[in-house]
Amino acid sequence: MEFSTRPLTVGPETPFTAPQIRDVIQQILATEGLPAIVQVGHPVLRQRAARFDGQVDDTELVQLIERMRDVMHAAPGVGLAAPQLGIPLQLAVLEDRFDVDPIASEARQRTPLGFFPILNPTYEPTGTSTASFYEGCLSMRGFQAVVTRHRDVRLNYQRPDGSTASGDFTGWQARIVQHETDHLHGGLYLDRAELRSLSNDSEYRTNWAYPGIEEARLGLGFLDS
C-alpha cells in the first residue's frame, strides 16, 4: 500500500554571515569532547542553512566532518546534519552499519550504507513509489512517527574536495538521504509525519515495533486507505 508524500515547507534563510559560521565551527573544533546535539525549538533547525562556499578551509572542513562522524556514532544515529550542532551550513554525514533483524531489513529495504559526507545536497524522486515507516530524529529525542517518503531518489551533492557527484538510492538509504537533506532546508521529519502515529520510544517498543506499520496504522487510525 502506497501513500502520498507531504511537501516540505522550506525555512527562512539563516541570518548568519560567513564569518559567523566560521566562528561557530572553530568554537566547536576548539572544544574538548563532543558537542551536544541541539533539540527541536532551536532556531537553527528551522532555517535554510547557507550553502558551503569556502566558509572554512580544507583542514577545518575535514576536522568538522570527523567531529560530526564521532557525534553521529556516539548518539548513535545513521546521519547528522551540521544544523544539529548549531552550524547553519549545508553539510551532513551519513552512515548505516547497524545490525537489524533480517525480516525488518527486508520489509524496509535496509542495507548497509558506507560513510560519506555531503555538501549542498538536493534530491529528486526517480520513480513514483513511496514507503511509509516509523522514523526518529536525534534532534527530537524520545519520539518516533510514521513518515511517507519517496522509495527511490537521486541525490546530487558536492564532495569535500569540491567535486560534484550524484547517486541513486533506494529503500532505507533513500530515507536517510531525504531526512538529512531536509534538515539543511529547515525541515524536520515531523513536518512530513502522520501525527496520529506519533509515539514515544517506550510506547513504540511496546506496541508498534513491527517490520511494517500496518498494526500501528489500524491501532492509531492514520493513513486510511
Give the CA count within 13 Å in the CB-facing half-sphere of 203: 12
| Catalytic residue, candidates 95, 135, 180, 194 | 180
| Residue recorded with cell 486510511 | 224
> Do 103 and 211 touch, CB atoms closer than 8 A?
yes
Q: To 5 degrees, how large is the angle CA 160–CA 162–CA 167?
A: 75
DSSP β-bridge partners for residue 13: 48
Told to judge if 135 belongs to the known catalytic residues of this protein, a careful annotator would answer no
Burial of 190 (0-12, 13-18, 19+ CB in 10 A): middle
Alpha helices in the chain (DSSP H): 18-30, 58-74, 102-108, 171-183, 189-192, 201-203, 214-220
Phi, psi of 129 (to 5 degrees): -75, 145
Phi, psi of 178 (to 5 degrees): -70, -45
Residues catalogued as catalytic: 180
